[in-house]
Structure 1
Amino acid sequence: MNLKLSNTIKGMLLFLACLATAGCGQEDMPTPDTPDDSRPQVVLTFSASPGLTTRTQLPGPEYLQHVQTMHLYIFNGTGDNAPCVAYEEVDWTGLAAPEGKPGVSKNHKVQYKDFVVGQPYTFIAVGLDDCSGATYDLPGAVTEGSTLKDAKAVLASGKTRNDIAVSELFGGSLVLTPVAAEQITGTIKLDRRVAGVFGYFKNIPTKVGSTPVKSLRIELYKPQNKSIWLTAKPTKDEDVIMEPIANTDDNKILVEIPLTEADFEKEKVLSKGSYVLPMKAPTETEAPATLLVTLADANGVVLQSRNVKYKLDDTISDTSGGTGIITVTKDLYRFAINANWFYQIGPVNWPEEEDGNIVIEVVPDWDWSGEMEWQ
């Protein structure tokens, strides 16, 4: 199965040496009016790949992204204590789902005018789908006066793992230092701040022993996290915020497929997926594997489970050090869940042997072709 997914949204920020009050068009860069002082002005150009569509759950690793609204935060400085000095919503009219447009672009004239020449500013852009705003209370969770160390998405009050499962979130950042009489350009590349887990299953047993099977689940080794930085940190390890939703077994569940009589038909393929926030790999003492696929009874009691294993010829290619250099590890069961990576299981048969494990291929940067099989 060859699958591709475009996962980038680009933003061009241009610092001009004068103030402007002209409006923005979707195709032409705004032309500044006569300046009234020497303060820099910022103009933002966003472009999005084709295939914008809406959805209510992760449909698979298709060549799609689902940005509905675009938001910009401006921080005065680059350190953890740099304060947010402005928030602006980018007019995304005509660019959001469901129909989408090929090669779309959008110019946005930043309204903030108090840039100081020679002072570095951090620009964080956030793209939200139709669910993630409510799930993480964005864009309102970051306000003027908030600091860079607080620039993160946190599960909102009253929301649960089921809301995380259907919420796609994009983020990216750029540091620029305005100058008085020179144009400065830069690009913000937005990537998913969530991972995707998806499974295809068939020939599921109707019973384990004498107990009927009522659901199939993909589970984490520990409860899901509830927070993620709005823009990626230098390394994959730093990019994870280990704050669980709540320490309950229910919060370990990423995907749950209730089973009916029709689902046990021979060769019928069941599939479902979810978004999930990044998670560090377990240690040897914490768990034997990062992901499990389980069968449960009507009360949710696990009847049978299978560990999920990398299928990469006994090596894992990873750039989790943040340097872009490929590193190798021998632990094929304990792996991290990284932002913007896609983890696909199947389509496969449920193994009959008691020690059968599920083999998984992982998609760094959500741009992948491959398949899954049972060990």
Structure 2
Amino acid sequence: MKRSLIFDFALLSMLALTACSQNDDAPVLNEDSQVFTLTVSNDDAVTRAGRPLYSQVSAQNIDSVKLVIYNTSDNSIAYATTIDTWMSNSNVIATSDGNGRQTTIVLKGDDKLAAGTYKAYAVGYSVNSDYAELYKNLSVLTKGKTFNAITVQTAGDAEEIFAGTTEGNAQFTVGADGALSQRIVLKRQVAGTYGYFTNIPAKGAKDEVATTLRLVASNKLKEVILDGFDLTNAVNGKTSFGNASAQYADGMHTGYEIYSITLTDWFTAGDSNGDGVLNEEDTWQKDAAITDPGVSFKRGSVFGGKFLVPFAAVDGTNTLQLQLLDGSNNILKYWNINLRAKQETVNTVSGADDNSVEETTSVYSILRNSLYTIGLRKAGNDGGEEPDDNPDTDDPTDLNKGQELIIEVNGAWDNIPDMSLD
């Protein structure tokens, strides 16, 4: 079943009001109130929005939600609220099925939406976000102010953040009786990539000792535009970091290091059996820096992963290249990372960087809400619905063959737990 993060606005029926009355802390409701129930179903996920990327499972836990409703006639904000400490807030209670939490929002008096046409805008984020000025940008979205979609900026790596508007980018109308029924879909606004590898060459052609695996990308952007939610297969990033310093193997192009894997963090004695590859037959451990409980890997493998600000393809440069380096950062071996088939449709959010390059299987854009994977790691306590107690079911990629790798793309990242406002 496809899953998404959904806010569903509806004026509650008398049945819903009866259910609310069973809660001792429920508000007193009458015909002068507009009532919304905000529900986040998280499938018992234990991670927050700023989680590390350890697998393809995309369950997560939204720490805070900013909700704005604005009048489309003049973009004036009619209502705004923030639900903080979502997982511990005393006004947020467990849902009846136990797989989420919910709260009730009551609009009375000056808060009630007058008759008119509106849109809604919501952002779900980590309370300890690394995005510069996120809180400042959200704080200006207050009642009476003019609405403008926000951007967030990172000084380094991207992290998960979610945003959305009325489903289909449509507006909704509040009639004279105040009744309304509408929903908002929040989707991940960044991309992700991970590599899961085994049978790693231990030496170069001249017996140089391999020390590092790194993933290089043709671009790396700073800013995420939280807008253009009606666009699918979209790039919504802008502003390159500049000063690309990671050399491609052809010596003609430079890019940006996305992640780096130190091989001795996994193979503490190197190629301990001297067979020329690093695998399950060598002395092996999980990287000690990965301290999250329940995150396990198949013996003899290594893993690296990061979130990415989406970017458009760069003309003439392979979008992703995996490199095996020695201790002096010389490239001993490399693998160009290709798609199985080119992306036929790529949309660009207004204001995002657009290189207007024809997509190919090797030169391709990195799209929001898409996960680009090399090898298969199914789950784990980093967000999986089940702990990864049997990593032997995983399928890391064999690096002891070939010069090109195929990257798998999950363009929907669709196993996200539901969030609904009923």
TM-score, normalization: structure 1? 0.73
Match of 2:388 in 1: none
Supply the distance in 2 between the matched residues of 1:357 and 1:68 (Cα, whole angstroms): 40
Q: How has the CA–CA distance of structure 1 residues 134 and 352 changed in structure 2, closer, same or farther, with 3 Å as cutoff? A: closer
Aligned match of 1:290 in 305, 312, 319? Answer: 319
C-alpha displacement of 1:319:
5.4
Aligned match of 2:64 in 65, 69, 76? Answer: 69
Supply the distance in 1 between the matched residues of 2:43 and 2:336 (Cα, whole angstroms): 37
Supply the distance in 1 between the matched residues of 2:149 and 2:259 (Cα, whole angstroms): 29
Instruction: Indicate conservation of the 8 Å contact 2:79/2:111, yes or no.
Output: no
Match of 2:370 in 1: 341
Supply the distance in 2 between the matched residues of 1:106 and 1:30 (Cα, whole angstroms): 14
Aligned match of 2:213 in 216, 219, 226? Answer: 216
C-alpha displacement of 1:304:
3.1
Matches within 5 A, 1:355-374: 356-367=403-414
For residue 398 of structure 2, what is the amino acid of its counterpart? N
SS at match of 1:140: helix
Supply the distance in 2 between the matched residues of 1:301 and 1:193 (Cα, whole angstroms): 35
Query: What is the aligned length?
Result: 327
SS at match of 2:45: coil
Q: Deviations over 1:129-170 (max 9, x none)?
A: 354x23344333231377655422222xxx322xx2xx2111
Computed over aligned residues only, the root mean square deviation of the Cα atoms, in angstroms, reads 3.7
Match of 1:266 in 2: 279
* Larger relative contact order (CA 8 Å, sep ≥ 6): 2
Instruction: Indicate conservation of the 8 Å contact 2:233/2:411, yes or no.
Output: no
For residue 153 of structure 2, what is the amino acid of its counterpart? V
Supply the distance in 2 between the matched residues of 1:115 and 1:296 (Cα, whole angstroms): 61
Instruction: Indicate conservation of the 8 Å contact 1:83/1:147, yes or no.
Output: yes
SS at match of 1:141: helix
Q: How has the CA–CA distance of structure 1 residues 154 and 148 changed in structure 2, closer, same or farther, with 3 Å as cutoff? A: farther
For residue 8 of structure 2, what is the amino acid of its counterpart? M
Matches within 5 A, 1:185-264: 185-210=181-206, 211-222=208-219, 224-236=220-232, 239-249=235-245, 252-260=256-264, 261-262=267-268, 264=271
Supply the distance in 2 between the matched residues of 1:95 and 1:60 (Cα, whole angstroms): 29
Q: How has the CA–CA distance of structure 1 residues 335 and 42 changed in structure 2, closer, same or farther, with 3 Å as cutoff? A: farther
Identity percentage of aligned residues: 22
Match of 1:279 in 2: 311
Supply the distance in 2 between the matched residues of 1:26 and 1:192 (Cα, whole angstroms): 35
SS at match of 1:107: strand
Q: How has the CA–CA distance of structure 1 residues 66 and 297 changed in structure 2, closer, same or farther, with 3 Å as cutoff? A: farther
Match of 1:326 in 2: none
Aligned match of 2:116 in 119, 129, 132? Answer: 119
C-alpha displacement of 1:269:
0.9
For residue 408 of structure 2, what is the amino acid of its counterpart? E
Match of 2:52 in 1: 57
Instruction: Indicate conservation of the 8 Å contact 1:66/1:168, yes or no.
Output: no
Q: Deviations over 1:346-372 (max 9, x none)?
A: 22122455xx1111111111148xxxx
Instruction: Indicate conservation of the 8 Å contact 1:10/1:48, yes or no.
Output: no
TM-score, normalization: structure 2? 0.66
C-alpha displacement of 1:53:
1.5
Supply the distance in 2 between the matched residues of 1:148 and 1:304 (Cα, whole angstroms): 51
SS at match of 1:208: coil
Supply the distance in 1 between the matched residues of 2:136 and 2:38 (Cα, whole angstroms): 23
Segments of 5+ residues of structure 2 without an aligned counterpart are 13-19, 247-254, 272-277, 281-299, 349-357, 376-395, 416-422
Does residue 93 (structure 1) correspond to residue 87 (structure 2)? The answer is yes
Segments of 5+ residues of structure 1 without an aligned counterpart are 17-23, 323-328, 369-375
Supply the distance in 2 between the matched residues of 1:337 and 1:95 (Cα, whole angstroms): 36
Q: How has the CA–CA distance of structure 1 residues 252 and 185 changed in structure 2, closer, same or farther, with 3 Å as cutoff? A: same
Supply the distance in 1 between the matched residues of 2:131 and 2:173 (Cα, whole angstroms): 33
Match of 1:372 in 2: none
Match of 1:350 in 2: 399
Supply the distance in 1 between the matched residues of 2:153 and 2:234 (Cα, whole angstroms): 16
Supply the distance in 1 between the matched residues of 2:359 and 2:87 (Cα, whole angstroms): 48
Aligned match of 1:104 in 83, 100, 106? Answer: 100
C-alpha displacement of 1:308:
0.6
Supply the distance in 1 between the matched residues of 2:22 and 2:279 (Cα, whole angstroms): 52
Supply the distance in 2 between the matched residues of 1:26 and 1:93 (Cα, whole angstroms): 21
SS at match of 2:130: helix
C-alpha displacement of 1:317:
6.1
**Based on CA coordinates, which of the two structures has the bigger radius of gyration?**
2
Match of 2:392 in 1: none
Q: How has the CA–CA distance of structure 1 residues 350 and 195 changed in structure 2, closer, same or farther, with 3 Å as cutoff? A: same
Supply the distance in 1 between the matched residues of 2:125 and 2:215 (Cα, whole angstroms): 25
Match of 1:184 in 2: 180
Supply the distance in 2 between the matched residues of 1:29 and 1:45 (Cα, whole angstroms): 14
Supply the distance in 2 between the matched residues of 1:134 and 1:42 (Cα, whole angstroms): 34
C-alpha displacement of 1:275:
0.9
